[in-house]
Amino acid sequence: MEDIYEMMAAMSEKLKKLDKLDMIEERIKGIEDELKSVKHSVEFPHDEIEDIKKANERTVEIDKKTQERLIELEATNTKLLNSVIDLKARSMRDNLIFYNINEKEGENTTSLIHKILEEHLGIENASINVKIDRSHRMGSKKSDTKPRPIVAKFNYYQHREQARLNGKKLKGTGIAISEQFPEEIARIRKSLYPELKKAKAQGRK
């Protein structure tokens, strides 16, 4: 009988040890699950970072292509603008602008120009020999007494140059003449005029 008790005690002890093993296994499993969870939580931000990195690379590439396209469009726009300026300059090649010619209602500006050519610029029979395709006052009429300039388009460039070169004869009359240029070129010439004046004063051309 005593032997049976001893055997039962031994079995009970073994069962206790098995229970402890089960607890240890459960704890190990819990630790393993926790490690997996931690690993997943670490990998998730890593994947997110990779996605953000790829998205950023795509954005940089798109921005690069956009900048390249912008530069291309700016170059094309500059080329077109220069072409327009060139065409405008060519269309104005035969033009002269006359300043400070008295303005009256119902005037004939072409007749006024012919009169200036004959009386002040030494071009005989200008009304017959010098053909002016068209002429008109520039800008809208204002209330002040200052006359608007007259722009005249000569049919022949040679006649235009003859009038321009004789412009020095207008000194003292109050009348002046100048070539006509596109606004873009006129601004550049205006900005360079002080230097040109300074160079002439120093005896350089």
Which residue, 94, 137, 134, is CA-closest to 110? 134
Residues 43, 101: one domain? no
pLDDT in the model for residue 3: 59
Q: What angle do CA 134, 173, 177 make, to 5 degrees?
A: 35
pLDDT in the model for residue 184: 81
82: Cα within 13 Å, side-chain hemisphere: 6
pLDDT in the model for residue 75: 81
Statement: the pTM of the whole predicted model exceeds 0.75: no
Residues 83, 120: one domain? no
Type of residue at 114 = H
pLDDT in the model for residue 11: 59
Residues 100, 126: one domain? yes
Residues 55, 152: one domain? no
Distances, alpha carbon 117 to alpha carbons 27, 37, 124, in Å: 114, 100, 8
Residues of the chain with pLDDT under 70: 1-25, 28, 31, 35, 38-49, 143-144, 193, 196, 200, 203-205
pLDDT in the model for residue 4: 59
Residues 127, 70: one domain? no
pLDDT in the model for residue 13: 62
Residues 105, 37: one domain? no
Domain extent for 30 = 1-92
d(CA 68, CA 106) in angstroms, rounded, equals 57
Sign of the CA dihedral running 83, 85, 87, 90: negative
Residues 55, 106: one domain? no
pLDDT in the model for residue 149: 96
pLDDT in the model for residue 51: 72
Q: Under DSSP, is residue 120 helix (H, G, I), strand (E, B) or coil?
A: coil
Residues 98, 198: one domain? yes
**Domain-terminating residue out of 74, 92, 110:** 92
Which residue carries 């031994």 as its tokens?
A: 10
Other CB atoms within 10 Å distance of the CB of residue 85 = 15
pLDDT in the model for residue 70: 79
Residues 26, 113: one domain? no
pLDDT in the model for residue 5: 53
Q: What is the pLDDT of residues 114-160, one digit of tens each?
A: 999 999 999 999 999 999 999 999 988 876 678 999 999 999 999 99
CATH at residue 188: 3.30.70.1820
Residues 128, 47: one domain? no
Residues 87, 181: one domain? no
pLDDT in the model for residue 24: 64
Q: Which two tokens stand for residue 204?
A: 């350089």
Type of residue at 63 = D
Residues 11, 84: one domain? yes
pLDDT in the model for residue 157: 95
Number of domains in the chain: 2
